[in-house]
Amino acid sequence: MDIVVAGSHGLIGTELLERLRERGDTVRRLVRRPPQAAHEVFWDPDEDALDPHALEGADAVVNFAGAGVGDHRWTTEYKRTILESRTRTAGLLARTLAHLDAPPPVLLQGTAVGYYGDRGAEVLTETSGPGTTFLARVVTEWEAATAPAQDAGVRVAHLRTGIVLSPDGGALARMLPLLRLGVGGRLGSGTQYWSWITLRDHVSAVLHLLDADVHGPVNLTGPAPATNAEVTRALAQALHRPAALPVPSVALKVVLGEFASDVLGSQRALPRVLEASGFTFEHDDLESAARWVTSG
């Protein structure tokens, strides 16, 4: 297949490129700097700049572009950056696809389970409505930005990503080093649900959805969401370390500001659509996931 990838420098994008190339696919990367290789294509979503010819002939477009939600404190300015970095990239791709005579038939748009807001222990599926948090509003507008492509007949799937577990960063970038030292623990009360998925399963699901006849929202989460305390305990046990030093909610709020409310928020999302499409998880339980994450 010939795949165009936006947001290829992050944790998921880097792994996706490697897996696509391993299986022999041709990959075109959208980059915001002058291209340095034949497979790189310049774009600038802030200036609405993307050569439509860059997408012609592709079999699919995959977009994981967007500013990191945990990279900075959520000032009013950075919250605008979080929103606009998503709606502008998704919107530019969707409009460009819509104006092509023969657009790529598939757009896989990465979004987030933050769509559901803080829902406690409520079981959430793709038919559940949105929450009321800032990130819920972001995801709602993010997904809506892909409407031009969908209206043009492109199969658009919204990949609502959960907590991605990886040995190399992501959600565990700060937690794993502490757990390895035996000085980590749950965050806040630890009762908040984490809809986790391993990086390996996440990318495998993306590859699966390139071909599976799936459109609309898809929860890219594992089949066994667990509480933060359970995830922390499983990782500590896999490392043969204690997890006895919890991080109080007040400390998270001091360090993270408004973002702490989402770290402490709860989403118990199930991958109903993904499973119905025939996808099989390599890590379908917390114990196997923890062993994989800590084996590196």
- Which pair of structure tokens corresponds to residue 45? 């979503």
- Are the C-beta atoms of 62 and 5 separated by less than 8 Å? yes
How many residues are given for the chain? 296
Amino acid at 1: M
Report the pLDDT value the prediction gives residue 257, as an integer from 0 to 100: 87
**Count of Cβ atoms closer than 10 Å to residue 216 Cβ:** 13
Question: pLDDT tens for residues 11-26?
Answer: 999 999 999 999 999 9
The runs of H, that is alpha helices, within the chain are 11-22, 76-98, 134-144, 147-151, 175-180, 199-211, 228-239, 249-256, 260-263, 272-276, 286-294
CA-CA distance, 131 to 262, in Å (whole number)? 12
Report the pLDDT value the prediction gives residue 260, as an integer from 0 to 100: 84
- pLDDT surpasses 90 at 143: yes
Report the pLDDT value the prediction gives residue 296, as an integer from 0 to 100: 67
- pLDDT surpasses 80 at 254: no
- Which structural domains are found in the chain, ordered by start? 2-294 (3.40.50.720)
CA-CA distance, 158 to 143, in Å (whole number)? 7
- The distance from CA 268 to its chain's CA centroid, rounded to whole angstroms, is 16
CA-CA distance, 211 to 233, in Å (whole number)? 37
Quickly state the pLDDT bin for 253 (edges 50, 70, 90): confident
Report the pLDDT value the prediction gives residue 113, as an integer from 0 to 100: 98
Report the pLDDT value the prediction gives residue 4, as an integer from 0 to 100: 98
